[in-house]
Amino acid sequence: MNISTLQIDNFRNYQHAKLQFANGINFILGDNAQGKTSLLEAVYLCGVGKSARTSKDKEMIKIESKQSRVQVKLNSKRGKESVDIVLDRTANKRVSISGVPVVRLGELMGVCSVVLFSPDELRIVKEGPNERRRFMDIALCQLSKTYFYTLNNFNKVLSQRNKLLKNGRASDDELFIWDKQFVEIGAKIAKNRRGFVDRLASFAKVRHFALSDTREELTVKYHGVDSQDLDIVKQTLQSQLDADRVKDLKHGYTHSRPHKDDIQILLNGTDARCFGSQGQQRSAALSLKLAEIDILTDLNREPPILLLDDVLSELDNSRCKKLLQFCKFTQTLITATHIEQELLDSIEHFKKFVIKNGTVE
């Protein structure tokens, strides 16, 4: 999969820009605060339907503009496609795929598969379980529209159950209705997440072993219901709900999984979150992202688009070279203030864009 053209209008600090990307490595260079990251944000928006930088769509609209438009033209195993997204200050965003408007955002999943790695992605290793669940869910949503809708349904059920508990007047009959849905839908979420992490673990171990020059072993473990059998997962979730019933009623929210699921990340057997250095945590997060690409490529039978935002400056030259060698096999957009000639000499083909004050020079 690759993007042939990205066009944006009134997006962030851009009035208008049109870029034609190469199939391999594309460098997007410029000083800080010129608009490099905004180009990656526009591509990411077309991939997952939302920004990785803000939860408010209207923040992406250029100041004093009423609308913003982003369009990518794609070449994939399905042929030529396009994704068109319009952001409006007075209306909901509008999404079209190859000129056909879509009513449900889930239809966008998998059309323009993207994997983003930026300094903020360090949160996957460094911060709490919510970041790691987000990491799993974004990848799984791009792999399966069904998962996207299942996850949305689960979040609605969880919200309704918590609302009932918070009111303090939840009867057994009322809780039974939501418990049944929680178990049925939650079991599917847990099963998919475990399957994803099992695949992720094997790919991430190989990627990190190469990235660290064989010095570190990365181990990834899923923390949730310990089974891939759907019936067993359902039974376990039901048992957890029953055991937590008094506690749920007392505190007014649901304590049971899968909205408590997590991934344990170990470097040479030690918890990377607690004991890893900043550099080790960054390399571990990068290995997880490269493993995500491996999974998407393996299951979709074509590589996704890799977005690297100001990553090379955070890695030593050895790891930069290894990363660039990996990037040759998937279309990659890389932002940086500058690129060392030594790194450019390590790759044969690339395209370079220079950004200044929201314009492409």
Query: If you write DSSP's letter for every residue of 20-54 in order, what string do you get?
Result: E--SSEEEEE--TTSSHHHHHHHHHHHHHSS-SS-
Last residue of a domain, one of 302, 325, 346: 302
Express each pLDDT in 44-65 by its tens digit.
Answer: 999 999 999 999 999 999 999 9
pLDDT value, residue 174: 86
What CA–CA distance (Å, rounded) separates 260 from 245? Answer: 16
The identity of residue 357, as a single letter, is N
Helix, strand or coil, per DSSP, at residue 219: strand
| Nearest by Cα to 10 from 62, 58, 45, 66 | 62
- Gap between the terminal Cα atoms of the chain: 26
Decide if pLDDT at 160 tops 80: yes
Residues 291 and 342 reside in one and the same domain: no
- Please give the mean pLDDT across all residues of the chain: 93
pLDDT value, residue 227: 83
Residues 256 and 280 reside in one and the same domain: yes
Percent over 90 (pLDDT), the chain: 76
Query: If you write DSSP's letter for every residue of 231-300 in order, what string do you get?
Result: HHHHHHHHHHHHHTHHHHHHHTS---SSTT-EEEEEETTEEHHHH--HHHHHHHHHHHHHHHHHHHHHHH
Express each pLDDT in 205-245 by its tens digit.
Answer: 999 999 888 889 999 999 988 888 999 999 999 999 999 98
If one counts the domains in the chain, the total is 2
Residues 167 and 288 reside in one and the same domain: yes
Residues 264 and 311 reside in one and the same domain: no
pLDDT value, residue 318: 87
| Nearest by Cα to 316 from 280, 347, 288 | 280
Model pTM? 0.93
Decide if pLDDT at 40 tops 80: yes
Strands 67-76 and 79-88: antiparallel
Q: Which domain holds residue 197?
A: 120-302
Residues 2 and 109 reside in one and the same domain: yes
| Window from 165-169, 183-187, 282-286 with minimum mean pLDDT | 165-169
Residues 218 and 345 reside in one and the same domain: no
Residues 145 and 268 reside in one and the same domain: yes
Last residue of a domain, one of 277, 302, 327: 302
Last residue of a domain, one of 302, 329, 349: 302
Backbone dihedral angles phi then psi of residue 142, each to the nearest 5 degrees: -70, -25
Residues 231 and 318 reside in one and the same domain: no
Residue 217, domain CATH: 1.20.1050.90
